[in-house]
Each structure stands twice: as C-alpha cells, then as structure tokens.
Structure 1
Amino acid sequence: MLNPQWLKSFVTLTEVGSFTECAEQLGITQAAVSQHIRHLEQKLGPLLLRSRRPLELTPAGNALTDYCQQVDRAHRQLELRLSDSDVTCGEISLISPGSIGLRLYPLLLSLQGEHQDLTVRHRFAPDSEVIDAVLHNRYEMGLVTQKPDDRRLVAQKFAEEALELVIPANACVNCWEDLEALGYIDHPDGQAMATRLLSRRFPGNPGVRNLPQRGFSNQISLILEPVARGLGFTVLPRFARLAFARPQAIKVTEDGAALVDTIWLIHRAEWPLSARAQQALHWLKDRI
C-alpha cells in the first residue's frame, strides 16, 4: 500500500512541474516533497527525469500516474455511493421477476435519461434469487411475488398484478374445449400460473397438463410471440402482456373471477433504503 501523502506529492509535482511550486501548493517544505518522491522511487524505481525542464516521466512514472487517476476515480465513486444528499446521482440497483421487470426497466431508463449521473443496474430473477441477492447486499432492493418471512428483510406492498389468459386476437374462448383446440404455450412458471387461473375460470377442468402443448419459451419477452401468431394461448402476469410489442395481435379473456397477486418490495431491515432509491420508487409508482 503506497502512502497517500507520497502519492499526493507525486500528483501535484507532475501537475505543476516544479518541486518548489509543489511544496508551496501543498504547504510543506521542498525537502519533504523530495523525500516523498524518493520513498516512491525506492519502491517503484525512477519516476522522473529531473534534468529535463519541464519534468519528464519515466515509464514507471506514467504507470504511477495512471494508478493515481484510478485511485481518484474509485474514491469519487465511493463518495458518490455513500452520499445520500443528491438523489439524482449514483446507482439504483433493483432485482425483480421478469414480468414486473419488463414494466419497470424501461421506466428506470427514462429516469436515467432525465438524470445522466444516475446508473441503473437491474436483473431479472425468480423470487428465491431475488431474496438471496438482497440478503447478501448484491442489490439494494428487490421485488417478489411471495412475501418473505425472513426477519432480516422488510417487505412492503409495491403493486398488484393480475394473471391473464392471453389468446390470439382472432380467437374466442368460451369453454375448456376452446382451450384444447388452441393448445398451450408453456413457460417456466406456466404450469403453476395456468393451474391457479384456469381452476377459477373453468372449475373441475382436467388440468393444464392435459392440454396440448404447442410451444415453450423461457424468455418472458418472447412467450407471447407464438400466441400472436395464432399458435396457442398462455397465462401470464399483466405487466408481461403490457410490454409486448404487438398488442393488436393478442387479446385477454376477462370472463370469470380475477386472480390478482401482490408484488412486494424488499430490502434489508438493518438499514433504510437510500434517498436515491426511495425517490426512484416514488417515481416508478406514479407511472405504473
């Protein structure tokens, strides 16, 4: 570890080009500046060609200059991350399930577009991964569809999202046989979602596993593509449907009882959310 005072003398010396001016600017003696440079050179080798005017850096001197710049950037980034005074600077880190993520990520990018000093870091993940990431401080906040019971986490209601039966725009579903004729487009959470919704819409049905499966995709943004092409139906959360690029090619059947899930915002209980994160959450809630 290099002494910060030595590095400060070196950086100032390279900026002003004179031992005398460097000493005056730092408020120390010229002998002290020379001693600091000598200590660095004992560790790193020759840094300056003192016979040249202005001073000329050796390759080791150029390397140390780059190092000092990296240290300065890291220091400023640390101050930015720890500072809570300016809600328009720093990082917003959010991890969420796919459907709500499809809705929020473009909004977060719009927020970043308004405040260029913000950085958005977002990850799509299932509930279990969201909880683990927040518990281990990899993300400041997360969204989950099932409220966790871990005392290390604070969970508060963020939004509600309905499950929807989505069919091709030119299709019609009035009974279970209509679903059989269409066939099912599956996805990683599809069996559980379809079972929950279809048991309400069609009580006593044989079960989604008995429907003809017409396709599968693990990319939430692509699940509705085969539906739009008339190849089958699926069951998805509402925000995933709203994010689809061709809404005119699909439609939602709304007959029967609605099934609405709560989406929970979680963060570590030991410390509050940063002012930057709270501001971002207020901004998002106003738009969803």
Structure 2
Amino acid sequence: MLSPQWLRSFVVLAERGSFTRTADQLGLTQAAVSQHIRHLEETLGPLLIRRPRQIELTPAGQALLVYCADLEQAEKRLNLRLAGEDDRQGEISLISPGSIGLSLYPLLLDLQAAHPGFSVRHRFAPDQDVLEAVGNNDFELGLVTIKPDDPRLDARHFAQEPLDLVIPAEGTVACWEDLEKLGFIDHPDGQAMASRLLSRVLPGNRGIRSIACKGFVNQVGLILEPVARGFGFTVIPRYAREAFARPEAIRVVEMGPGVVDSLWLIYRAQWPLSARSRFVASELASRLTGEALEGV
C-alpha cells in the first residue's frame, strides 16, 4: 500500500521541482523526502529523471501525479458527503458566466453575512469551462446558458436572462443608421449577441460587422464603461447591465420582440447535492427571480 506521506512528498516535489524546496515546505529533511521517493520507485518503477537543477517526471511519474489528484478529489467528495447535512455550514462552490455572476456574487456574500459558517468560492467562466469544472468535481454548482447533454450532469432551469441593447444615456436609436452613427463596443460574445438581437428588432439589417467597432473589452464588469462615456452601443445580458454602477449614464433601447436566454443550474447527477448547496441554490433563485427553484 502506498503511504499518504510518500505521495504527499511526491506531489510537492513535482510542484516545486527541487528536493530542497520540497523538504522546506513539508518540514522534513532532504533525506526523508528522498527516502519517500525511493519507496515509491521500489513499488512503481522510475518516477523521476534527476538533473542538476531540475527534475522531470517519467510517464510513470505523470500517471502517479494523476492518481494523486484523483485521491484528492475523492477526499473532497468524502468530506462533502460527511458535512453535507448541515445546510448553514461549509463551502459553497459556484462557477458561472460573468454576467449572472455579477448579480449572484453580492447575493452570495449576503448569505455568508447571514450565515457566517459559509465559505464562498465563486469563479467567472464561459459555458465550456463551467461544464468541465462541475463534471470534474472542482465546483459543486454551475450555471450555463445552454442545457447540457452530458449524462454526468443534472440541470434545472434557474432563470431567464434577456439580451439588452444599451446606448449612452443621451443617445437615440430608431433605425439601423442610428446604430451606425454610434459604433459598436465589442466583447467576447458581443458580435454573436448583437447579431441575435438585432436580427429580431431590425430584420433585414446589414449585419453587425458592417458597423464600425469603437472598442473591445473582455471584462464583463467593464463592458458598459465606454458606452456610458458615449463611445458606442453594445448588446449585453441583462444581469450584467443591472450590475453596472452608473445606470444613469446608459439607456436600454426597447425595439420589439427581444431575445431571452435560459440559465441552467448544473451539478453532478451521480450523487445528491449537499444540504447547504440545495439551500443556497434555492435562496439565490428566490432572491434573483422571486421564484422558487424546483427539483433540486
């Protein structure tokens, strides 16, 4: 059987690349670290290629590192199960797109303030990263804009999120030419969102690529800043627009039937959610939309 202490020494050595730094971090002697690695290699074969100033993992070493990561995830799942009955205590791990995240993060902090036993870990990420993170057990809860077909994941409808056409507060838009005069503020999903919305409200238009791009921002919390300063218009999810700190500097243009996306709460299907995550998911949905979350 592989000793957890041997494995810990191996993982830190793979991370730090030095027996000296590994020993310092673990509070051991270099001889003790070397002995741990020797025990592992006696069982598994060569794990390291030792060079004067660095080490390199062999294929067996790479495989052992993956095994160690799997053990760590298994331990996290065990702790989650063991602590899962307390719905006011423990870590809340949520990964979501930035737009909805801007609205959810303050609500998460409100819950933590009301229940100090909570610890909040929230990451902003695109849909694909959310799917991978929840599928790999890195986060217990995730939000995505497209319902997944991954059999490992369960999905529940969480909220509706319209797309908003946002212009400077003093601007006016009644036709395509008005948008051309303003220019477009792009972001990573900007052209796709603008194409979807503008094809609805201004059918037969010349396409978003025909409008001059007046700027590009890849931070969701900053997308509306150039709009507020009068540099152009953009199309952005409503929750991101509602989180903007200077709403008086922008205006939403309502022009006929819009585009409304669904947001899906996802989690692993193979085991039940912890009690605290069920509580938090329900609270977030209720505070954000005023409606209870069904089926979690």
Could you say which residue in structure 1 is the equivalent of 2:197? 197
What is the one-letter code of the residue matched to 1:262?
Answer: S
SS of aligned partner of 1:221? helix
Matched AA of 1:168: P
Instruction: Give secondary structure in 1 for the equivalent of 2:206.
Output: coil
Structure 2 residue 186 is matched with structure 1 residue 183: no
Larger Rg: 1
Residue equivalent to 1:269: 269
Equivalents in 1 of 2:229, 2:87: separation in Å?
A: 44
Question: Residue in 2 aligned with 1:254?
Answer: 254
**1:207 aligned partner, one-letter code:** G
| Alpha-carbon distance, 1:84 to partner | 2.1
Q: Report if aligned partners of 1:80, 1:89 keep a CA contact under 8 Å in 2.
A: no
For residues 8-157 of structure 1, the aligned pairs below 5 Å read 82-157=82-157
TM-score, scaled to structure 2: 0.70
AA in 1 matched with 2:239:
F
- Say if 2:85 and 2:274, in contact at 8 Å, map to a contact too: no
Cα 1:2–1:230 shift into 2, 3 Å: closer
Q: Residue 286 of structure 2 aligns with which residue?
A: 286
Q: How many aligned positions are there?
A: 217
**Does the aligned pair in 1 maintain the 2:157–2:263 contact within 8 Å?**
yes
Unpaired segments ≥5 residues, structure 2: 6-31, 33-74, 289-296
Aligned partners of 2:102, 2:145: CA distance in 1, in Å?
15
The structure 1 segments of at least 4 consecutive aligned residues displaced by more than 4 Å after TM superposition are 78-81
Any idea what the Cα deviations from partners look like across 1:8-53, whole Å, max 9, x if unmatched? Answer: xxxxxxxxxxxxxxxxxxxxxxxxxxxxxxxxxxxx9xxxxxxxxx
CA-to-aligned-CA distance 1:69-92 (integer Å, 9 cap, x gap)? xxxxxx9xx757731232111000
For the residue of structure 2 that corresponds to 1:256, the secondary structure is coil
State the distance in 1 between where 2:191 and 2:117 align. 42
- The range that moved more, 78-87 or 106-115, is 78-87
- Match for residue 222 of structure 1? 222
* Maintained 8 Å contact 1:81/1:90: no
Shift of 1:147: 0.8
Counting aligned pairs with the same residue, the percent is 62
Q: What CA deviation, in whole Å up to 9, does each residue of 1:157-196 have, x standing for no partner?
A: 0000000000001101000000000000000000100000
The corresponding residue for 1:239 is 239
2:284 partner SS = helix
Name the residue aligned to 2:160: 160
Q: What is the CA-CA distance between 1:129 and the residue it aligns to?
A: 0.4
Aligned-partner Cα distance in 2 for 1:123–1:2: 30
SS at match of 1:94: strand
Rounded Cα–Cα distance in structure 2 between residues aligned with 1:199 and 1:257: 10
Letter in 1 for 2:227: V
Is 1:209 aligned to 2:209, yes or no?
yes
Name the TM-score, length of structure 1 as normaliser: 0.72
Contact 2:101/2:124 (8 A) holds in 1: yes
Native 8 Å contact 1:164 1:253 kept in 2: yes
1:79–1:95 CA distance, 2 compared to 1 (3 A): closer
| Aligned partners of 1:81 and 1:91 also within 8 Å | no
Mapped to 1, the partners of 2:82 and 2:206 lie a distance apart of: 56
Q: CA RMSD in A?
A: 2.0
Letter matched to residue 264 of structure 2: W
CA distance in 2, matches of 1:272, 1:221: 33
C-alpha distance 171-206 of structure 1, shift in aligned 2 (>3 A): same
Runs of 5+ in structure 1 lacking a partner? 4-43, 45-74
